[in-house]
Amino acid sequence: MDIRTAQALVRFGLGRRGAEPLPSDPAAWLLNQLHQPDPTRFDDQPTTAKGLTALRDDRANKPPPGESQVAALFKAQATAQLGNAVTTPAPFRERLVWFWTNHFVISRRQGGCAAVAAAFVEEAIRPHVTGRFQDMVLAVMRHPAMLLYLDNAQSFGPDSPLGQRSHRGLNENLARECMELHTVSPLAGYSQADVTSFAKILTGWSVDLKADPPGFVYRPTAHEPGVQTVLQQQFPADEAGGVAALRFLANHPATHRFLATKLVRHFVADDPPPDAVRAIEWVLRDSEGNLGAASAALVRLDAAWQPLKKLRTPQDLVVASVRSHSGRPGSAAMDRAGAERLAGSSRGLGGAGSDAAAHRLGERVCRTHRRPRRAGGRR
């Protein structure tokens, strides 16, 4: 195997699967994965409705740990998602799912997230890895997993009808994390006033466990009335203001620079070459945040093919080891067993993070996100 083929399989992928033919043109093999539909299929597709129903039933029935519907669902979905990593014919695309899942980190320890962590990946991340970043941001910020993780269901506009009645106020966790870690980053030079205004814009974005099916809900009676200003841009009240604000942040030049740096650091070098960062930033700017175009540009970077610049994480290495035996005669049982072992041991592998869901495949390194405070604003 030549070095360029090895780079394609390791730097951008999850290792060779069994005795599958090696790509004759490694770059074309990677680019083709971006242009083809995602081949991922699950026998039991994770959905928000299914997860929230299990969470609602567990909260109502208070089962012992061994009989929790959420725990059983979590384990089955973790195994299925890791099994997909072992067998996928599109490992570069799967690595992108991991990367963006890690970018929009959640934790199973917070707010019932374990029930919908797999659905979060399959509904908010996977469909958008080659689409526009603003669409991914909107899907993430509306998803119950993120709303539960960052307590936005407990955020009330101080002057909203519910805020006035309950004397409960803002929770800035979602607004702060979105600006600091998901979109513009501190590069944009935003202020505390911007965070507070954005938190007011997102009031009313909540989760309804009682609905059939349960899921996202916008509660106008919890929304802070009035026009809000973020980074010198004004946004109207109601849900439309939140959508407009998220689109603005997703397409901000500071967001393009921040995302480009993270992509290059992940796929090219731990110390991102400035020329490579600028190249990806320009692609994001010129394509209005097209993530497929940015991923293709990564493949075309000469710096991305330089060896000895990146090391595999422990989970990458173990997944690659299981993949190396996959696809051979009689390997199906080994694939299943390997996925189950991975799901059970990902905490120790540094894969799902010290406190995150085993099937949050993107969180393969120590968390860089600071844990949010449960209430109030500043952290």
Task: Establish if 352 belongs to a structural domain.
Answer: no
> If we measure between CA atoms, which residue out of 52, 95, 126 comes closest to residue 298?
95
Decide if pLDDT at 57 tops 60.
Answer: yes
- 76-85, 174-183, 349-358: which has the highest mean pLDDT? 174-183
Task: Establish if 350 belongs to a structural domain.
Answer: no
348 confidence band (pLDDT: 50, 70, 90):
very low
pLDDT of residue 354: 29
pLDDT of residue 326: 79
Compute and round to an integer the Cα radius of gyration of the chain.
21
Each residue's pLDDT tens digit, 217-231: 999 999 999 999 999
Plot region of 111 (φ>0 → left; ψ -120 to 50 → alpha; else → beta): left
Each residue's pLDDT tens digit, 86-137: 999 999 999 999 999 999 999 988 868 999 999 999 999 999 999 999 999 9
Q: What is the pTM of this model?
A: 0.89
Decide if pLDDT at 349 tops 50.
Answer: no
Task: Establish if 128 belongs to a structural domain.
Answer: yes
Dihedral of CA atoms 250, 256, 259, 265 in degrees, nearest 10, equals 180
Task: Establish if 370 belongs to a structural domain.
Answer: no
pLDDT of residue 356: 33
Decide if pLDDT at 336 tops 70.
Answer: no
pLDDT of residue 366: 28
Q: Domain limits at 240?
A: 3-345
Q: Euclidean distance between the first and final Cα of the chain, in Å?
A: 50
Burial of 312 (0-12, 13-18, 19+ CB in 10 A): middle
**What is the mean pLDDT of the segment spanning 5-10?**
95
Tell me the pLDDT of the chain averaged across its residues. Answer: 88
pLDDT of residue 344: 61
More confident residue, 368 or 39: 39
pLDDT of residue 325: 85
Instruction: Give the DSSP H/E element, type plus range, for residue 218.
Output: strand 215-218
Q: Are 238 and 226 in contact (CB under 8 A)?
A: no
pLDDT of residue 365: 27
369 confidence band (pLDDT: 50, 70, 90):
very low
Task: Establish if 93 belongs to a structural domain.
Answer: yes
Q: Are 18 and 323 in contact (CB under 8 A)?
A: yes
pLDDT of residue 183: 98
> If we measure between CA atoms, which residue out of 225, 164, 174, 222 comes closest to residue 198?
174
Burial of 269 (0-12, 13-18, 19+ CB in 10 A): middle
Task: Establish if 369 belongs to a structural domain.
Answer: no
Q: How far apart are CA 5 and CA 15, in angstroms?
A: 10
More confident residue, 322 or 253: 253
What is residue 173's three-state secondary structure? helix
Decide if pLDDT at 77 tops 50.
Answer: yes
Task: Establish if 235 belongs to a structural domain.
Answer: yes
Q: Are 79 and 17 in contact (CB under 8 A)?
A: no
Task: Establish if 364 belongs to a structural domain.
Answer: no
**Count: domains in the chain:** 1
